[in-house]
Structure 1
């Protein structure tokens, strides 16, 4: 038996043998990593579905014209006379639903496999349950996206939900790695971890806000509302309708395919996204400069700033090139990469507690032995 596994709390050992525990954790580690990669794929498929205007390719949910596979035109017309079948768009939408459903099954498998380990010290049972809750909520948002006809509020929340699922998969994987390594100090107490400082919290808050703004830009079709860069429509402060652009209680009911807002409202949304990118970039740079002296954090902070610079370039290119499909997909992939790098940087910060604090904790535990 390895030293790392001897460090794990053996409470509830009657439920499962140690060898079974090791096999379970190895499988959980693999599945959680697969979940991260698979979720990224699902997010990109979802964005592609939206970019090719296939979000309403099937007018109902969870089936497509009342069936689990795309039917022929005769059956589709009999089911929904007001929604003519476009076979390509219907299949794109159904592929997105199939892969999203597979992701849900993967989450359920993780919860079931991890249940026997839930009483072990430092096992991330809470993260597993949070992942299950978010994936169920994400399924509801998927249904509302169709039934509410691409209502921007729901579409934006659906994107944020997908990123949240990916983040929880990643966090679960990191926690499982720590659990497998048995990184506990004497007495079965977890090693000290640094709390987030206000600067870290601000960076995370701005990133979430910028992701939400990106979703709001996409769901309101405001990607090229500002022509040109760095100016917007030839002006540094163009005509904008902020109240209409961010009217979050807009009515439910119209078909929001291609958007419902007028030009000045869409310009306000795009301009806000640009301002958000500026604020986020400055804070990320400040965060990197503040902690650059810490060798263990330097790769993550450098990667975070580097990904942001690439993402900024992709955003500018999307505007200048009039939002080509492949570039819009890359921009979404850049947002995913930003979330991953921020999570890894936060993990590195919390896990790299000063050695003095770790030594002090060990000495306190020895005093009680």
Structure 2
């Protein structure tokens, strides 16, 4: 079974590698980094689809499906489970959704191994030829990415084996977004960038804080999703017709507990779900203010205006999607788009942090050059 699964992961990766090979880009490593980033973004979107269609336990074991490499081979066991619980977590459709998600994840893992292997090969060749190795060609980030994706895979396994325990699923989501940010940083440092006004160096701290605040909101959003609290407040801007509804923060934000249960094993009370949903809504105001302010400042910096415009557009789109999901009673397509737009914001803020860092480095280089000239 493991060999069959590995082959499927290789096939997914080969499709991406063929796009790299066929590319007209002379820098194939740069192209590989961007293709891996694109596939990871797709994986996050499909992961959201998997979670929102309740397909996380479509195959209740890991890494295969009832000990098989695909749902076709496990058809008898899946049909038996579906007959026993027609509305349960195991169906043929859910099994395929879950396994496709795993195949995509394995494909991303293979591509990251390829990134690391090429980076180390280039590094060793440069050392052998005694050529200066630029910081952008360092193999340490791709190596860290491999360790990171292994950790992400472990949480993916625990998501299944621990039966969708909310804290595990939320960490799995955060690690996926973290992997996306790391790959965006890797892809950015392989690419040429237009000169940026040195005023961008003042954006380093605000951009970093904005990214941290966004990750907090993603954690809260994941907590809403994994606790099935999306419909706890069905009106907007109030909740149950009031600004401060009855809420149970203690049970709602107890991290280590089973799905739908309190830490004592009782059923999670509805006020706990309300507290989870309400907190996500309120913190969205903080994110909107912080990211909106950063985007406004970025739009005034030469060389970053396009990034600022995209960031502001993505923020507005995310707000519209969030409001629409409540008014339209959380349709699946909009809920998946809500996750995708969050991933897009992570991408844009990561790129902004990278470019602000470039401006700061340029300032240091200019300062050193000026000092040497004066000497």
TM-score of the superposition, structure 1-length normalised? 0.81
- Determine if the alignment matches structure 1 residue 48 to structure 2 residue 55: no
Q: Identify the match of residue 114 of structure 1 among 119, 127, 143.
A: 119
Counterpart of 1:313 in structure 2 is 320
Counterpart of 2:15 in structure 1 is none
In structure 2, the gaps of 5 or more residues are 1-23, 128-132
Equivalent-residue separation in structure 2 for 1:353 and 1:140 (angstroms): 37
Indicate how the Cα distance of structure 1 residues 93 and 354 shifts in structure 2: closer, same or farther if over 3 A, else same: closer
Q: Deviations over 1:21-66 (max 9, x none)?
A: xx99812101110011101111111111111111101111011001
Q: Is the 8 A contact 2:247 2:271 kept in 1?
A: yes
Equivalent-residue separation in structure 2 for 1:284 and 1:59 (angstroms): 39
Indicate how the Cα distance of structure 1 residues 158 and 25 shifts in structure 2: closer, same or farther if over 3 A, else same: farther
Q: Is the 8 A contact 2:68 2:74 kept in 1?
A: no
Counterpart of 2:176 in structure 1 is 162
Give the SS at the match of 1:238: coil
Q: Offset at 1:155?
A: 0.6
- Determine if the alignment matches structure 1 residue 142 to structure 2 residue 156: yes
Q: Deviations over 1:77-99 (max 9, x none)?
A: 89999888521111111111111
Q: Write the mapping of 1:97-112 to structure 2, written as runs, cut at 5 A.
A: 97-112=102-117
- Determine if the alignment matches structure 1 residue 248 to structure 2 residue 239: no
Q: Offset at 1:175?
A: 1.4
Indicate how the Cα distance of structure 1 residues 273 and 116 shifts in structure 2: closer, same or farther if over 3 A, else same: same
Counterpart of 2:353 in structure 1 is 346
Equivalent-residue separation in structure 2 for 1:337 and 1:354 (angstroms): 26
Structure 1 segments, 4+ long, off by >6 Å, are 77-84
Q: Identify the match of residue 336 of structure 1 among 323, 335, 343.
A: 343
Indicate how the Cα distance of structure 1 residues 242 and 82 shifts in structure 2: closer, same or farther if over 3 A, else same: same
Mean Cα deviation higher: 321-330 or 261-270: 261-270
TM-score of the superposition, structure 2-length normalised? 0.80
Q: Deviations over 1:273-302 (max 9, x none)?
A: 111110111112332444543222332223
Task: Tell me how large the CA RMSD over aligned residues is.
Answer: 3.1
Q: Is the 8 A contact 2:164 2:259 kept in 1?
A: no
Counterpart of 1:58 in structure 2 is 59
Q: Offset at 1:72?
A: 4.4
Q: Is the 8 A contact 1:228 1:234 kept in 2?
A: yes
Counterpart of 1:88 in structure 2 is 93
In structure 1, the gaps of 5 or more residues are 1-22, 184-190
Counterpart of 1:6 in structure 2 is none
Q: Deviations over 1:129-176 (max 9, x none)?
A: 221111101110110010000001111111111111111111111112
Q: Is the 8 A contact 1:297 1:349 kept in 2?
A: no
Equivalent-residue separation in structure 2 for 1:262 and 1:205 (angstroms): 31
Mean Cα deviation higher: 28-37 or 346-355: 346-355
Q: Offset at 1:346?
A: 1.4
Equivalent-residue separation in structure 1 for 2:288 and 2:272 (angstroms): 25
Equivalent-residue separation in structure 2 for 1:241 and 1:43 (angstroms): 31
Aligned residues: 332
